[in-house]
Amino acid sequence: MAHHSEVSIPLHAKVLTVSDGVASGEREDTSGPALVAALGRAGFTVVEHRVVADGAETVANALSHMAYFFRGVVVTTGGTGFGPRDKTPEGTRRVLDRRAPGLAEAMRAVSPLGKLSRGVAGTRGRALILNTAGSPAGAVEMLEAVIEVVPHALSLMAGENEPHPTAG
């Protein structure tokens, strides 16, 4: 695991499971808990895990609430593929202030199936939002592809390690 010695901010995370089946109680959520465990292993404290049904609207609403006054990473699982209900990237794009295509590309590059991910990454306020795949293995694999740079991104977003002084 990456060492976070240069990062002085607390590492907080939230997980959003996007799934009609899980939201309706028909299916057990396996990807959300897998992400919670992976974040814990990487030194993050997971402060919230919620579940919503598929759809751009449900995802946008959940993410805007989860990112509100939150400094940390919000990781979604599910809804990034080619199915008719897969609208997580559309919902995520609605709430992003800034895109982070390098993170999305790195997450896609971890496996051949990554080519089928339409997931996006970016920031809203001081929260970093990452879309991962719907399968537990895919979600964790994608998260682990970028987790080592997340603390640095969060510290930059918090205004630490400023490369140049800001005008006062």
CATH of the domain at 89: 3.40.980.10
Task: Give CA angle at 9 (149, 110), nearest 5°.
Answer: 20
Mean pLDDT of the region 68-97: 97
pLDDT band at 165 (very low <50, low <70, confident <90, very high): very low
Q: How far apart are the first and last CA of the chain?
A: 38
Q: Within a domain: residue 162?
A: no
Local structure of 78: helix, strand or coil: coil
Residue partners of 121: CB distance under 8 A and separation at least 6:
99, 100, 101, 103, 104, 107, 128, 129, 130, 131, 146
Mean of pLDDT over the chain: 92
Tokens in use for 48?
């919230």
pLDDT of residue 159: 87
Given a cut of 60, is residue 20 above it in pLDDT?
Answer: yes
pLDDT 10s digits, 94-152: 999 999 999 999 999 999 999 999 999 999 999 999 999 999 999 999 999 999 999 99
Residue 4 lies in a domain: no
**Is the full-model pTM beyond 0.75?**
yes
Which residues span the domain enclosing 58? 13-77+84-157
53, part of any domain: yes
**Is 70 contained in some domain?**
yes
| The two structure tokens encoding residue 75 | 């990781």
51 and 23 in contact (C-beta within 8 Å)?
yes
Whose CA is closest to 117, among 131, 137, 103, 129?
131
Number of independent structural domains in the chain: 1
**Residues shown for the chain:** 168
What's the rounded mean pLDDT across residues 23-40? 98
Question: Does 115 map to a domain?
Answer: yes
Residue 164 or residue 148, greater confidence: 148
Whether the pLDDT of residue 23 is over 60: the answer is yes
Asked if the structure places residue 166 within a domain, the reply is no
